[in-house]
Amino acid sequence: MKSGMADIPPEHAAILRVIRSIPRGRVASYGEIARRAGLPGRARLVGRILGDYSALKLPWQRVLRSDGRIAFPRGSSGYREQRARLTDEGIAVRNGRIDLGRFGWQRDVDAELWKLV
DNA sequence: TCCTTGACCATTA
DNA sequence: ATAATGGCCAAGG
């Protein structure tokens, strides 16, 4: 049988699901998203998918490099757009960098485990 | 088919 | 903090 229009590969679906589940006001790295989707080491696929599925309304601004920097080049429209969106939801961006210790999604897990918050 | 290009990452120096 | 390296792998030429 053919599924007509949007048959999204399982790997893509898993990644999209994780991206959509990043809480507002928090951020996650490409690699972390891949791991949470059960695809460790597949960070590049996450980046590719964000571009491929840009028609979907995803919270793409919450996805950063592992060091907390915005992936787009400084000065690009994508960079400015992301910085603006992050700022809008209360995430501080300084020099194109977000403090993962403060806004990282993983921080929630850490807090849960170590009861620091 | 080979080669290059990426919204990447961990490690090592 | 920056830089090189090797790993990852889908697309496009």
Question: Domain map of chain A by residue range?
Answer: 5-114
Q: Is the CB of A10 under 7 A from strand C?
A: no
What is the C-alpha separation between A108 and A57, in angstroms, rounded?
Answer: 24
CA A105 to chain centre: 9
Q: Is the CB of A47 under 7 A from strand B?
A: yes
| pLDDT tens digits in sequence order for chain A, 117 residues long | 454 446 889 999 999 999 999 999 999 999 999 999 999 999 999 999 999 999 999 999 999 999 999 999 998 999 999 999 999 999 999 999 999 999 999 776 666 666 555
Predicted confidence at residue A106, as pLDDT, reads 79
Q: Is the CB of A12 under 7 A from strand C?
A: no
CA of A49 to C1' of C13 (A): 21
Is the pTM higher than 0.85?
A: yes
Return the CATH class of domain A5-114.
mainly alpha
Write out the H or E segment, with its range, that includes residue A43.
helix A43-52
CA A2 to chain centre: 31
Predicted confidence at residue A84, as pLDDT, reads 97
